[in-house]
Amino acid sequence: MSGCTNRLLGDKLYAYELGMLNDQEREGVEIHILECAYCGETARQFEPTALLLRHDPDVRLHVQDLTVEDKGDRVKNPESPHRRKWVSFVPFTAAAAILLAFLILKPWQIEFRSSQEVTAADNRLAIMYFENIVDPSDAQRLGEIATNLLITDLSQSSYLEVMSSQRLYDILKLLGREGQKTADRNVASDIAGKADAQWLLIGSILQVEPALVLTSQLVDVKTGKVRAAQRISGAPGESIFSLVDKLTTEIKKDLPLPAGARSEPERPVAQVTTSSPEAYRYYLAGVDYANKMFVPEATASFQKALQYDSTFAMAYYQLASIADRKLIDKAVQYLERAGRRDSYFIRSRKAALTGNAATAIAELQEAVKYFPDEKEAFYLLGNYEYSQREYPAAIDYLIRATEIDPLYKAAYNRLSYVYDAAGDLEKALAAINKYISLAPDEPNPLDSRGDLYSLHGMIDEAIESYWQALAIKPDFHYSRQKLGELYLFKRQFSRADSCFRELASAADQETRASGRMNLALVQMLQCRLPLALKILDQGIAADSLELTDSRNREVANKLYLKSRIALAVGDTALSLKELKETIQLYSLDNPNDKLACRNLYAQLLAASRNYAAAKTAIDELKSQSERAGRGRATYQFALGSLALAKGDLDSAQSCFAAAAAETKDFYSLYMYARTLLQSGKPTEAVSEFEKLLHDNDYWYTCYDFDYQDASYYLGRAYEETGASAKATERYQKYLDFWQKSYPNLPLVLDAAARLAQLKAKTIGS
């Protein structure tokens, strides 16, 4: 933006922002703002301050002094052809300096708020569910559809703050009226009062055939008086979307809104949602399912909505959140078909899925300025801050969400995880127990409690909690998956196998794919590697036949396990090949993720003495981590692997320590402990290996052979510190796993030799 393209119009910008132009002048400036990038950006930046100042008499007086030579002529004859037409403005910089001086010197006693809050705070509207007089059960959700569409339509206005449909639902819950679709005048007034609304809209569907008829009443909450009534009669065959647009126009006419509200562009509501009642009906059903964490049912509903309208942006957004993240690109593609409120969520999710947490957070921070009661925005802000390990900020946002809705189940669920990550198990359990009390008939609270228990080594308690979740909903497969993993941890293989066979025969394809992979794990942890590889190959074949959207990810997961098996038995070349294919498929599944498995790939290249290729992979990792603003630990791990392969133990130890400090990742901690041992620091190595094998959760015992190798290296560390009994125990544990099936592996041979020597010394003594 090099500068203003029309100074005659640009010099009127501050007067325009302060609301001091007549209609003709305002129209000219508005057209100029759209055409001139420089003034468009200036107007955007100054707008919040202008909205605050525009009613201040001192500011208006000084701006008039700057702009009009003959005030007397202007007052006497505003339309005089001899009137000075605001062309003698001082330059932008001078006007800005004067306004800045007002901001600094004036003794303000007011809190700065966003433009939406300033213009709309006194025009907050609560819309009740439209009562379907024709069908009180509202089997086709027409009343709910009309309500949601009207909220979306009116929310496009910058001069009106409309209570969201979610907020309406939440207040009904607080009043003990969850699921109620109608409300008498007293209940409606209570709802409006809790929403701090000035206006209340009560509506009805009077007729469906041969044409729709909508009626509504606009009530002043303070007085209880009806300000206006509206009746919209459609033509035969006219859609509910068209009627809602007409009703929106009438309501805006009847509300005491500023003059600017009359000239706002009004897009048809079908252009910011969908034009299909069937699509909208399935969308609303999907939202209901998603709120209960019934993901397969929600996914099916959103997919059904898209069958009726393939341009439904928010249906893609919802699916990107719960099923297939790649669909966020479709939501962005149809962003123009989303309302103001929804657009923030779509842009934020797109940023989050591309690794740009800062933009994801900024979009939602902007959203809550305009929609301060949007609890989901605060919830997602908490999630994103949590993902960045900004736990205090995450807690603040999530608590704000619960203040808006004290019955917000998802917020209490997430709070439990954040408190736990922040080291406050007591508050974590309090949050999860609150969640359980709010949803005693839902499985997810008990599943989350199981997660907390398992993270703290309370394995039996976790197993009991997962079984309680399954007692409520037997096909709640998240709990069954975790049960199988915990049984693997306890080496109760038949029980684990039973859980995973249930998953492998589930109704939905992705659950079956997960079950097939886990059946291979049962064999891996019994060192039955040929059978595990056979199951993985069968699983890959089945995934290729059954899956579409998630095929790449599920096949990649199985190839990863094949790569680790090959590495464990000493076939580094095959391991590299399988891992390379894994990375390629992960890239197809999520093109924005350039970090997955790259550190392990660089490690294998370095261990194979292919230093040049390893260096190239590491340089790419560095570039991608800097671009994504994350993944620094992944890069440090790869750098440490190359240093270790070249014999530079000091550099390797430093890199692995840096990676471990940032992520507490098993692999980084494992390699850091190994470099300590190789550097002649067995006491420190003992400490690190003990923490590694004790503190890390069951996942590592199920998914990687490095966990087994850690037992061998801890035995070495014990031996070097003189703890022979402990060393003997660790060597024996390692050999119990490997020796029968693979007696000639290098570490197995070494462990056997060391164990024999220790036993001989014990006998000799």
> What residues does each domain of the chain span?
7-112, 118-258, 284-338, 637-764
Looking at residue 123, its pLDDT comes to 75
User: For 259-274, what is the mean pLDDT?
Assistant: 84
User: Which has more pLDDT, 199 or 504?
Assistant: 504
User: For 529-552, what is the mean pLDDT?
Assistant: 94
State the Cα–Cα distance between residues 137 and 184, nearest whole angstrom: 16
User: Which has more pLDDT, 755 or 104?
Assistant: 755
Q: Are 211 and 235 in contact (CB under 8 A)?
A: yes
pLDDT beyond 60 at 73: no
User: Which has more pLDDT, 211 or 158?
Assistant: 211
Looking at residue 420, its pLDDT comes to 95
Looking at residue 370, its pLDDT comes to 85
User: For 229-240, what is the mean pLDDT?
Assistant: 91
Q: Which are the contacts of 298, defined by CB distance < 8 A and separation ≥ 6?
A: 286, 287, 289, 290, 318, 322
User: Which has more pLDDT, 52 or 564?
Assistant: 564
Looking at residue 263, its pLDDT comes to 79
Q: Of 403, 405, 455, whose CA–CA distance to 428 is shortest?
A: 455
pLDDT beyond 60 at 70: no
Q: Of 380, 375, 343, 374, whose CA–CA distance to 361 is shortest?
A: 380
State the Cα–Cα distance between residues 678 and 713, nearest whole angstrom: 10
Kind and range of the H or E element at 50? helix 37-53
pLDDT beyond 70 at 125: yes
Looking at residue 704, its pLDDT comes to 72
User: For 502-510, what is the mean pLDDT?
Assistant: 93
305-316: burial string, b at 16+ Cβ within 10 Å, e else: bbebbebbbbbb
Q: Are 364 and 374 in contact (CB under 8 A)?
A: no
Q: Are 200 and 219 in contact (CB under 8 A)?
A: yes
Phi, psi for 202 (deg, rounded to 5): -115, 125
Residue 387, Cβ density class (10 Å: 0-12 exposed, 13-18 middle, ≥19 buried) = middle
Phi, psi for 266 (deg, rounded to 5): -115, 110
Question: What 3-state DSSP class applies to 219?
Answer: strand
State the Cα–Cα distance between residues 747 and 730, nearest whole angstrom: 13
Looking at residue 173, its pLDDT comes to 73
User: For 520-546, what is the mean pLDDT?
Assistant: 95
How confident is residue 247, by pLDDT bands cut at 50, 70 and 90? very high
- 696-707: per-residue pLDDT in tens? 555 555 557 888
- 550-606: per-residue pLDDT in tens? 899 999 999 999 999 999 999 999 999 999 999 999 999 888 778 889 999 999 999
Looking at residue 43, its pLDDT comes to 61
How confident is residue 1, by pLDDT bands cut at 50, 70 and 90? very low
Looking at residue 40, its pLDDT comes to 65
The Cα-based distances of 210 to 213, 270, 442, 612, 694 in angstroms read 10, 22, 42, 76, 71
Looking at residue 66, its pLDDT comes to 44
Looking at residue 62, its pLDDT comes to 46
Percentage above 90 pLDDT, the chain: 52
User: Which has more pLDDT, 286 or 291?
Assistant: 286
Across the chain, mean pLDDT equals: 83
State the Cα–Cα distance between residues 65 and 493, nearest whole angstrom: 86
Looking at residue 723, its pLDDT comes to 96
Looking at residue 702, its pLDDT comes to 57
User: For 207-220, what is the mean pLDDT?
Assistant: 89
- 433-483: per-residue pLDDT in tens? 999 999 999 999 999 999 999 888 899 999 999 999 999 999 999 999 999
**Of the ranges 18-27, 336-345, 750-759, which one carries the lowest mean pLDDT score?**
18-27
Domain 118-258 CATH assignment equals 3.20.20.140: no
Q: Whole-structure pTM over 0.75, yes or no?
A: no
The CATH-assigned architecture of domain 637-764 is Alpha Horseshoe (1.25)
User: For 357-376, what is the mean pLDDT?
Assistant: 90
State the Cα–Cα distance between residues 130 and 205, nearest whole angstrom: 7
The Cα-based distances of 92 to 14, 21, 97 in angstroms read 8, 17, 8
